A and B are shown apart, each in its own frame.
Chain A
């Protein structure tokens, strides 16, 4: 039996096919006058991924997202969206993208049902039944005018409008900004379950680490218009450590300092970034590196220091 087992060739496990890329940008740049809001952003998003786009206010998140849905035109760079590549996103491409803006501005006299009817004229794949289902699921009154809806309900209505044409990609620009904690939690729960159900790719911007950690599996950290980190959440957590160093401490070349902060009694507290395998090296183990939470990593990137 053992022989047979040894003789029989063991089939190599077939690696699962990599999900197709839905969105890829290459060195996107956009300025407003002399202010450079987006400085060479290259990001990738594959089908089924939920990408958390983290950054402080003014980091360039909204500008990047507006470039991705074609509201703004990049000064330089390219966007490959849903298989089409070009210097900007065309209206026809937008028909397959769902977008929820930071500020939900609707015609105040329109009810939810009227908004759905209006939007259906612009999206060939509009599904009225899905829209009704989403309104019920999100508990959005169908016949109440937009001007009478609370901020949370408006955000939910925006989500229903963004999802009802079954978009392949959903772009959400700080959709929970201004919502109270309960409304935010409800919104995120529904979003997560909806994405599990439909399997869309999501690009989700926020400056709230907790909600990104809750729903995203891929993270991008934007600072001053530049994408400082992009990768899986697990990779992000595994690749960053905080260490205490002195003048005598020698760091390997594979380690990058993200932030350094002087401490009392001499030395510095440093947030370092390296490939997860590097942290297992003997030279670094002795440094007693501390693992960081996502929030600590984000703060290390986002807070300005002379050495960051």
Chain B
């Protein structure tokens, strides 16, 4: 009986199975090819792991459709039911066949990976057994799940959608980590190497999932003498489609509302010096000297409180400062915190050379930005956030001297029309660097203040940064012209004229400071080392040469596939002497065809920050 059955299944699906196997072979071939190119692959057993992730869902969906759903859609199960064979046996035969085909494909995949890697890598029988158990358990789990879904007929897709959304919601609203769930855990990164311990808990979860799916499948097939499955295999009526769509939408909206109303707990250190007042709160890690920590917390609180009042916010997200020795004193890095609110910054807090301006400016920028969910950073008024952070910090820490420094820094940028400069803010930031771009933005705010008074400047800032004023996302991102006109009664031309005149005046007044910086000449050259490998050499000269040659820094990194602006904090850093004459090679091999970005910064004691003298993206050729 079983033989006749298997012959029938194979004859019924032989063409589909050839296509199925062809796709599996093509996908696996691509994976192997990709791994051959990937220098960091580690083990060839990475291939079955990636294959299990990609193929188990795609291939099994197709298999479940052919072996199970098709029988009901074409009504041939009526023919099967009349045969002297039980429904349990019909389903069992199909499930076993699907599991065997799945196992066969993965066994071949593991075999190929072992054969390819055998020459160079030691794949012991224990490791192979572990990999096989883990991969097959996941493949069979997916098969059992999708076979069950196939029996649900017209409700299978809504059910799988709801299942996926529910899992994501669980991960969102609880401490559940999806990567720790049985099947995901079994296909973890360590799979190609782990031969010491089998993840028994994950295996138990996966097999419990298999048992559950099989139980539901048999229940579906046997319920009401199989009539339920037959009814489920009917196509959805128009009314049902509308109903299911409404239910799914309601589910999505419900999740969205839950997500919107969910307020993550503020990030808290177990041992910290805390300063809090009104709507602001600062924590400094107790790893610092108590006096230093308290002084830092109090100062930061005072500045944040002042900024809060200036922008008109009810309360600000909490700020946590963590000391680190991994960063330079002029750097501050925002740490990612999961499922907690607030801003966490890492900086060399106990370094005597700590750049307080930089730390305060970054803290103020991030806290104000976070107060309205980083909205300003996504809009054309992004410049306003940077300008406000620089201006507020300069006034709080340096008073009038701070404003003078801002103008001095701003005067170093090339003369250009105001509106396009502010509108294309992200590229401007990349070219000018944080110090000059922030100062330029602050100088625009100072110009508005000069022309229309401090109240007008404050209204301008609040229009963009006050969360209450722009609670709804439907409120349009205002243009520069609208902002200036409505909040300060000024035209773009008037502000541009005053801003340009002031910058020209500063350039004339401080030419001895600015001209040498503007004359900085960075030189870069690409040299082919061998074949497709290049090196980048660089040097920087000043005119006239300074009495004491400072050191300049070059940050560099490879661009991603989308060529998006990289976080410069993730770039590598090299420092070299200005005016030494000799080229210095970057400590990196650049492969032909790859895209890189580098920026050259020169520290300026007069400007009290590093001035960007070059920013470049280039394809290596």
Chain B minimum-CB-distance residue to A108 = B74
Is B96 on the interface with A (CB-CB < 8 A)?
Answer: no
Contact among B3, B82, B85, B225 with A73 in the assembled complex (CB-CB below 8 Å): B225
Assess the B78–A107 pair: CB atoms within 8 A.
no
In the assembled complex, the Cα of A281 lies from the Cα of B452 at a distance in Å of 124
Chain B minimum-CB-distance residue to A115 = B79
Q: CB within 8 Å of B: which of A94-125?
A: 94-95, 99, 101, 103, 105-109, 114, 117-123
In the assembled complex, the Cα of A144 lies from the Cα of B8 at a distance in Å of 17
Is A137 on the interface with B (CB-CB < 8 A)?
Answer: no
Is B594 on the interface with A (CB-CB < 8 A)?
Answer: no
The 8 A CB mask of B78-106 against A (1 = contact, 0 = none) is 11011111100100000000000000000
Contacts A105-B75, A121-B1, A122-B1: A71 and B83 contacting too (C-beta < 8 A)?
Answer: no
Is A81 on the interface with B (CB-CB < 8 A)?
Answer: no
Is B12 on the interface with A (CB-CB < 8 A)?
Answer: yes
Assess the A121–B4 pair: CB atoms within 8 A.
yes
Chain B minimum-CB-distance residue to A165 = B84
Min CB distance B2 to A, Å, is 8
Chain A residues positioned under 8 Å from B79 (CB to CB): 105-107
Assess the B12–A107 pair: CB atoms within 8 A.
yes
Min CB distance A81 to B, Å, is 12
Assess the B4–A69 pair: CB atoms within 8 A.
no
In the assembled complex, the Cα of A228 lies from the Cα of B4 at a distance in Å of 43
Q: How many residues of B are in contact with the other chain, CB < 8 A?
A: 23
Assess the B84–A71 pair: CB atoms within 8 A.
no
Chain B residues positioned under 8 Å from A73 (CB to CB): 225
The 8 A CB mask of B217-260 against A (1 = contact, 0 = none) is 00000000111000000000000000000000000000000000
Chain A residues positioned under 8 Å from B227 (CB to CB): 32
Assess the B225–A71 pair: CB atoms within 8 A.
yes
Min CB distance B67 to A, Å, is 14
Chain B residues positioned under 8 Å from A103 (CB to CB): 78
Is A250 on the interface with B (CB-CB < 8 A)?
Answer: no
Min CB distance A162 to B, Å, is 9
Assess the A71–B74 pair: CB atoms within 8 A.
no
In the assembled complex, the Cα of A122 lies from the Cα of B8 at a distance in Å of 12
Assess the B84–A121 pair: CB atoms within 8 A.
no
Chain A minimum-CB-distance residue to B75 = A105
Tell which of B4, B75, B76, B83 has the most Cβ of chain A within 10 Å.
B83
Chain B residues positioned under 8 Å from A276 (CB to CB): none
Is B479 on the interface with A (CB-CB < 8 A)?
Answer: no
Q: CB within 8 Å of B: which of A126-183?
A: none
Chain A residues positioned under 8 Å from B85 (CB to CB): 91, 122
Is A92 on the interface with B (CB-CB < 8 A)?
Answer: yes
In the assembled complex, the Cα of A91 lies from the Cα of B82 at a distance in Å of 9
Is A283 on the interface with B (CB-CB < 8 A)?
Answer: no
Contact among A71, A91, A106, A117 with B4 in the assembled complex (CB-CB below 8 Å): A117
Assess the B4–A107 pair: CB atoms within 8 A.
no
Is B7 on the interface with A (CB-CB < 8 A)?
Answer: yes
Contact among A72, A94, A105, A107 with B84 in the assembled complex (CB-CB below 8 Å): A94
Contacts A91-B85, A99-B82: A107 and B8 contacting too (C-beta < 8 A)?
Answer: yes
In the assembled complex, the Cα of A140 lies from the Cα of B4 at a distance in Å of 23
Chain B minimum-CB-distance residue to A92 = B84
Assess the B81–A71 pair: CB atoms within 8 A.
yes
Question: 6 closest Cβ contacts across the A-B interface?
Answer: A121-B4, A94-B84, A95-B84, A91-B84, A105-B78, A72-B225
Partner-A contacts on B (CB < 8 A): 1, 3-5, 7-8, 11-12, 74-76, 78-79, 81-86, 89, 225-227
Q: List 30 A-B contacts (CB under 8 A).
A: A69-B82, A71-B81, A71-B82, A71-B225, A72-B225, A73-B225, A91-B86, A91-B89, A94-B83, A99-B82, A101-B78, A103-B78, A105-B75, A105-B79, A106-B76, A106-B79, A107-B8, A107-B12, A109-B12, A117-B4, A118-B7, A119-B83, A120-B4, A121-B1, A121-B3, A121-B5, A121-B7, A122-B1, A122-B4, A122-B85
For the complex with contacts A107-B79, A118-B4, A122-B85, 20 further pairs of A-B residues with Cβ separation under 8 Å are: A69-B82, A71-B225, A72-B225, A91-B84, A91-B86, A92-B84, A95-B84, A101-B82, A103-B78, A105-B75, A105-B76, A107-B12, A109-B12, A118-B7, A120-B4, A121-B3, A121-B4, A121-B5, A122-B84, A123-B84
